[in-house]
Amino acid sequence: MARSPLAALSILSVPVHDVTYAETLDVLGEFIASGKPHQVCTVNPEFVMKARENPAFGAVLRGADLCLPDGVGLLWAAKLKGHRLRERVAGSTLMYPLAERAAQAGWRVFYLGAAPGIATKTAAILQARYPSLQVAGTYSGDDSPAESEKIIRLVHESRADVLLVAFGNPKQDFWIARYAQRLAVPVMVGVGGSFDFVAGVAKRAPLGWQKLGLEWLHRLLNEPKRWRRMLALPRFAWAVALERNSVVEWKDAVKKFSS
Ligand code: UDP
């Protein structure tokens, strides 16, 4: 039975799907069952602000099959404007339930990107936790044309069902969009710094901070070099609060883009 389209909001013209972790895993399962390539983006306020400055990035996000609400600021924006996103679905948290579901369902997962050795370490840690996880492959690599050709070969040989790409945003999302048809993996997700968290080279905020929606503050305190990047957060809040129609149902936004 065909599922009805997923509900999504347009937040400053970027789609954000209203999905929970459980629903995300089910949708990924449907993508895999279809066998066709699908792009998944882990959207947060920084993505939204980058998309405003870079229309090509906005087009990539609007072209993605699933845009996860990976940022508490998105939930806040929805609420402020009388809408609702039920749950934050963080790419770095999803790494674990995704590995668990992959182990149960026999999905083959390829870990691509991050600093040398990190993808392999990430896969090893997850495999130790979920012993039946099938790791299709791991590779550090980058988005250069020569490396991309090599990666496409490796990915084809690996028969991966899921390709997790940690090249940093927006690079990873542009890269997936560019090579999606050639990679032809049913689920391709840009996961940012998620491998660094699993591998333990970066520390996530304690659960209490996460529950209070303060993961961004923990990040700023631990990686003060990010302050310039993180100015996107107040700019995002400002734009959402002040602009009319900053948050609308996605189906209303589609009319705007197609007119
Ligand atoms: N990264 C990479 N190649 C690059 C830039 C970044 O592999 O040219 C990796 C980096 O090692 C780290 C991740 O991308 O693992 C960080 O991504 P991002 O900044 O998007 O992370 P987040 O916002 O999720 O922290």
Q: What are the boundaries of each domain within the chain? A: 8-202+212-238
Whether ligand 1 lies within 6 angstroms of the CB of 175 is answered as no
pLDDT per residue as tens, the chain (259 positions): 456 678 999 999 999 999 999 999 999 999 999 999 999 999 999 999 999 999 999 999 999 999 999 999 999 999 999 999 999 999 999 999 999 999 999 999 999 999 999 999 999 999 999 999 999 999 999 999 999 999 999 999 999 999 999 999 999 999 999 999 999 999 999 999 999 999 999 999 999 999 999 999 999 999 999 989 999 999 999 999 999 999 999 987 876 666 5
Pocket test for ligand 1, best of 196, 220, 227 (most atoms within 8 A of CB): 196
- Cα 195 to middle of ligand 1, angstroms: 9
Nearest CA to ligand 1 atom 14: 168
Whether ligand 1 lies within 6 angstroms of the CB of 166 is answered as yes
Q: Residue 195 CA: which ligand 1 atom is closest?
A: 15
Say which DSSP state 68 is in: E
81: CB partners within 8 A, 6+ apart:
240, 246, 247
Nearest to 63 by CA among 143, 178, 142, 161: 178
Whether ligand 1 lies within 6 angstroms of the CB of 213 is answered as no
Whether ligand 1 lies within 6 angstroms of the CB of 31 is answered as no
Nearest CA to ligand 1 atom 3: 167
Owner of token pair 């609308």: 248
Whether ligand 1 lies within 6 angstroms of the CB of 29 is answered as no
Whether the bond between 170 and the residue before it is cis, its omega within 30 degrees of 0, is yes
pTM of the full structure: 0.96
How far apart are the C-alpha atoms of 187 and 176, rounded to whole Å?
10
How far apart are the C-alpha atoms of 25 and 230, rounded to whole Å?
29
- Cα 178 to middle of ligand 1, angstroms: 18
Q: Are 49 and 57 in contact (CB under 8 A)?
A: no
Helix (H, G, I), strand (E, B) or coil at 247: strand
Whether ligand 1 lies within 6 angstroms of the CB of 167 is answered as yes
